[in-house]
Structure 1
Amino acid sequence: MAASVTDRFLRYVVIDTQSDAASPTQPSTEKQKKLGRLLVEELLEIGVSDAHLDEHGYVYATIPANTPKNNVPVICFCAHMDTAPDFSGTNVKPQIVRNYRGGDIRLPGDPSQVIRVADNPVLNDLIGHDIVTSDGTTLLGADDKAGVAEIMAAAEFLIKNPDIKHGTIRILFTTDEEIGRGVDKVDLKKLGADFGYTMDGETAGTIEDETFSADALEIAIKGVAIHPGFAYGKMENAIRIAGAIIDRLPKDMAPETTKDRVGFIHPTGVSGVMEKANLSLIIRDFTEDGLKHKEALLENITKEVMKDYPGSSYTFTLKEQYRNMKVVLDRHPEIVEYAIEAIRRAGIEPERGSIRGGTDGSRLSFMGLPCPNIFAGGHAFHSPLEFVSSQDMEKAVKTIVELAKLWEERA
């Protein structure tokens, strides 16, 4: 399995699939379909006869049941094809550190980029593994092409080993997850699954049944513009207003100063001229109350700043992004419990975790498809220091296979 999943992964990461939040289309970039078409071609080659790419760039496919039992639930395995806009995904050059012996890993394309053990202590658990990195000039794309490769490798393994009994398995590869639109156009009726698992987690052995709840906020500021030579007592510069709001954000409520179950307020973009400015922020918390508290705090900060600019005005536009999937998954505990057992059967000690972020599973859970998140093995996502272990990807493949077996056994 290791060679198969790694070979697939190396094939997929060189295809640029970055999504683009500024694009109104779905998928946001046509290049995501290039990977989708390749996946359909490979699925057809291994015998998944209904594999196809829809107009939104999603890949749907089915591994038919091969069990005489007629009460085995239909499971969906899901991963996203796009990579984050945070760092370039163009011209990815994957590198393999074979039989890793420990120590920092300096990346050859940009020697200033170093994957340090001090920053990534998980490397101490990967001695002897084959570690895949980028060359330091781009993302690697393990988020989430590791998950894509694992589902593909598991699909091939199950088809080639018909003695392993399982129910119907649905495969879903999505677009635009990184910009919060991953399941906007998913047809759940067409998917026809009872529940799912996203393969989009981090450390081997982790099963995550909780995510942040998330909102996006846009603050549009209208200032007072006038020629700077005649501005005394009259100008109200919208850029300065936006800067004042940012400056007053609590320093202990930022992504870089919070961890574990503490949420944050995070400015993600600012643009403007003297007359008008726009400030984009994301709000994250594990509870709905925490989310609302942060949004109220932000509006109070804005109101306080605006008192110094009586001729100016602002508007708040709040958009719900996703909610903590634990609310849904707690009503279906066996979905997570079976995943824990499958991870154990794959030879790893399982660990439950919470995601300081979201997955397609967050939205799918509230759309009616309960969907926890299983490890894919990648680390340092959204950066040129991203890396993944071939052996951990193999364990993820085994976990998928064991899950398919478990649901059939216990039906």
Structure 2
Amino acid sequence: MTNKQHIIDRFVSYVKIDTQSDPNSNATPSTEKQWVLARKLAEELREIGMSDVELDENAYVMATLPATVAHKVPVIGFISHFDTSPDFSGTNVNPQIIEDYDGEDIVLDEEKNIILSPEYFEDLAQYKGQTIITTDGTTLLGADDKAGITEIMTAMQYLLDNPDIPHGKIRICFTPDEEIGRGAHKFDVEKFGAEWAYTMDGSQIGELEFENFHAAQAIVKVQGKSVHPGYAKDKMVNSMYIAQDFINSLPRLETPEHTKGRQGFFHLSSIKGDVEQTQLEYIIRDHDKDHFEARKEMMLDLKNEICAQYGSKCIEIELKDQYANMREKIEPVMHIVEIAEDAMEAVNIEPLIKPIRGGTDGAQLSYMGLPCPNIFAGGHNFHGKYEYIPVESMQKAAEVIVKIAELTSERYQ
């Protein structure tokens, strides 16, 4: 259905534009450089013939594909984000294209001995014989989520070029700042006007997700007392030692490196401090709402225990909920998941239905009134130098979008 070289060219043109978001900025988008790709996408949408193309003051790009059928069909949408993670450099991305992958190690950077190996990244072996796009070992790739944008653009162009394919009205949106948790914050659901949508933001081919973590952030501030170490007996209180007690008192095996599936965790993402004050930053995650609430209570109980030992004000905790599991919003409209599942099977993809071990714009959008399951974009090892994507997975994702549009029209005849 889709031309491989066109997909490669389109994807490479997107990933070469640095769109890294910044959690320390309060602007939307959080970085000026995101505007470069936003403007490019708006212009491309106009060039391929999309209607109602709009780039708003916050860099959200929306457009419409008009219906090709006369009967009433629910308006559906497809959404992807164009920012890349602040976790790793997205500057001067230099993709490597590996044709007919032989199943062996891929050297990303020979000088630094950075190797993408199927012995360590086992999923790589399943793509033997395909075309793989990798990094050069110095940046991330940006398949999260420029692959999703590539797939949506490719599918829209295909539907425009083939007006005989029956489908209802389709809305698309490309968003900033998803990687810092703000991709849906200024999303205008009413203006978007879809009954439901799909984020093209999953990982390996076949992924179909409609549940995600409940999420919270915890900032733990530990207060000590700094005294000259030569005269510190019974006077100094070292905040770093108290922080160490706090860290060690949480379940050591309930961390990201020891959990999978629906298991939740506490993740210490940052620590900085001195004798006088130490600050810990945690993210708290769990698929189960009761377990999620219990994790937050555990932190507060631990704070009280330590304060009873070192002083009533030695620890303060700021807890902030970030997003909720979208499952409860999707279950009443499970037909939208079933349509995606049927679309995958129709293009010979085995659906892999599993919970997201993370968040997605779709979770926030679902609670904003736009039910929004998540579909694979095809990439692996996001947010780092070992990121890669098979071109064939992007082709299949574009086919799934087209088939969803077609099946939705058929079901409402």
How far the C-alpha of 1:249 sits from its partner, in A, is: 2.5
Q: How many angstroms does 1:311 deviate by?
A: 6.8
Aligned counterparts, 1:286-301, within 5 A? 286-301=287-302
1:176 maps to what in 2?
177
Q: Does 1:310 align with 2:311?
A: yes
How big is each residue's C-alpha offset from its partner over 1:188-222, in whole Å with a ceiling of 9 and x where there is no partner?
11111100000001111121111111111111222
Report Cα offsets for 1:305-364 as digits up to 9, x if no partner. Answer: 334422742222111111111111111010000000111112212221111111100111
Deviation at 1:294, TM superposition (A): 1.4
Q: Note the residue ranges of structure 1 that are not aligned, 5 or more in a row.
A: none
Listed as ranges, the matches of 1:95-134 within 5 Å are 95-108=96-109, 111-134=112-135
d(CA) in 2 for partners of 1:377, 1:99: 17
**What is the match of residue 162 of structure 2?**
161
Amino acid at match of 1:238: S
Report the more deviating stretch, 117-126 or 305-314: 305-314
1:46 counterpart (33, 45, 48): 48
The CA deviation string for residues 279-320 of structure 1, in whole angstroms up to 9 with x for no partner, is 110000011111111112222333333344227422221111
Q: 1:311 to 1:400 in 2, by over 3 A?
A: closer
Instruction: Say if 1:80 and 1:145, in contact at 8 Å, map to a contact too.
Output: yes
Amino acid at match of 1:4: H
1:185 aligns with 2:189: no
The CA distance in 2 between the partners of 1:406 and 1:119, in whole Å, is 39
Contact 2:15–2:93 under 8 Å retained in 1: yes
Q: Distance in 2 between matches of 1:360 and 1:105?
A: 32
Asked if the contact 1:236–1:311 (Cα under 8 Å) also holds between the matched residues in 2, the reply is: no
1:314-329 alignment, distance < 5 Å: 314-329=315-330
Give the letter aligned to residue 174 of structure 2: F
Letter in 2 for 1:396: A
8 Å CA contact retained: 1:209, 1:325: yes
- 1:78 alignment counterpart: 79
The 2-side partners of 1:109 and 1:225 are apart by 48
Residue 27 (str. 1) matches residue 29 (str. 2): yes
Please name the residue that 2:245 is paired with: 244
Please give the alpha-carbon distance, in whole angstroms, between the structure 2 residues aligned to 1:244 and 1:89. Answer: 37
Higher mean alpha-carbon deviation, 44-53 vs 258-267, is at 44-53
Q: Given that residues 223 and 312 in structure 1 are in contact (C-alpha distance below 8 angstroms), is that contact kept between their aligned partners in structure 2?
A: no
Paired residue secondary structure (1:170): strand
Partner AA of 1:45 in structure 2? E
* Equivalent-residue separation in structure 2 for 1:215 and 1:229 (angstroms): 41
Contact between 2:48 and 2:157, CA under 8 Å: does it hold in 1? yes
1:349 pairs with 2:350: yes
Give the structure 2 partner of residue 4 of structure 1. 6
Is the Cα–Cα contact under 8 Å of residues 109 and 115 in structure 2 kept in the other structure?
no
- The aligned residue for residue 221 of structure 2 is 220
Residues 101-150 of structure 1 deviation map (CA, whole Å, 9 limit, x = unaligned): 10222213664322221332222221111000000111011111110111
Q: Deviations over 1:38-77 (max 9, x none)?
A: 10011111111322221112111111112111x2011110
Residue 200 of structure 1 aligns to a residue in which SS? Answer: strand
1:275 CA displacement: 2.4
Q: For residue 63 of structure 1, what is the aligned residue in structure 2?
A: 65
1:229 deviation in Å? 3.2
Answering whether residue 376 of structure 2 is matched by residue 375 of structure 1, we say yes
| Residues 385-394 or 23-32, more deviating | 23-32
AA in 2 matched with 1:58: Y
Give SS of 2:62's match.
strand
What displacement does 1:238 show? 2.2
Partner of residue 150, structure 1: 151
Question: CA separation in 2, counterparts of 1:76 and 1:139?
Answer: 28
SS of equivalent residue, structure 2 residue 218? strand
Query: Structure 1 pair 109/148, CA: closer, same or farther in 2 (3 Å)?
Result: farther
The SS at the match of 1:219 is: strand
Inter-partner Cα distance in structure 2 for 1:128 and 1:113: 22
SS in structure 2 at match of 1:348 = coil
> Residues 226 and 237 of structure 2 are in contact (CA less than 8 Å); yes or no, is this contact kept in structure 1?
yes
Query: 1:396 and 1:130 mapped to 2: Cα distance?
Result: 15
1:410 aligns with 2:411: yes
Task: For 2:30 and 2:334, locate their aligned partners in 1 and report how far apart those are by CA, in whole Å.
Answer: 35
TM-score (norm 2): 0.96
Q: Name whichever of 267-276 and 36-45 sits farther off.
A: 267-276
Structure 2: distance between partners of 1:329 and 1:111: 46
Distance between the aligned counterparts of 2:23 and 2:230, measured in 1? 38
Aligned counterparts of 2:47 and 2:226: Cα–Cα separation in 1: 63
1:13-24 superposed matches below 5 A: 13-24=15-26
CA distance in 2, matches of 1:110, 1:216: 39
Whole-angstrom CA distance in 2 between matches of 1:200 and 1:310: 46
Whether the aligned pair in 2 keeps the contact of 1:224 and 1:312 (CA below 8 Å) is: no
**What is the CA–CA distance in structure 2 between the aligned matches of 1:245 and 1:320, rounded to whole Å?**
21
Which stretch shifts more, 242-251 or 252-261?
A: 242-251
- Unpaired runs of at least 5, structure 2: none
How far 1:277 moved relative to its partner?
2.4
Task: Answer whether contact 2:303 2:316 (CA < 8 A) is retained.
Answer: no
Alpha-carbon distance in structure 1 between the residues aligned to 2:27 and 2:410: 43
Work out whether residues 213 and 287 of structure 2, in 8 Å CA contact, stay in contact via their aligned partners in 1.
yes
Q: Paired residues, what number?
A: 410
What amino acid is the match of 1:150? E
CA distance in 1: counterparts of 2:59 and 2:199, whole angstroms: 18
Q: Is the 2:51–2:66 Cα contact (8 Å) retained in structure 1?
A: no
* Secondary structure of the structure 2 residue equivalent to 1:330: helix
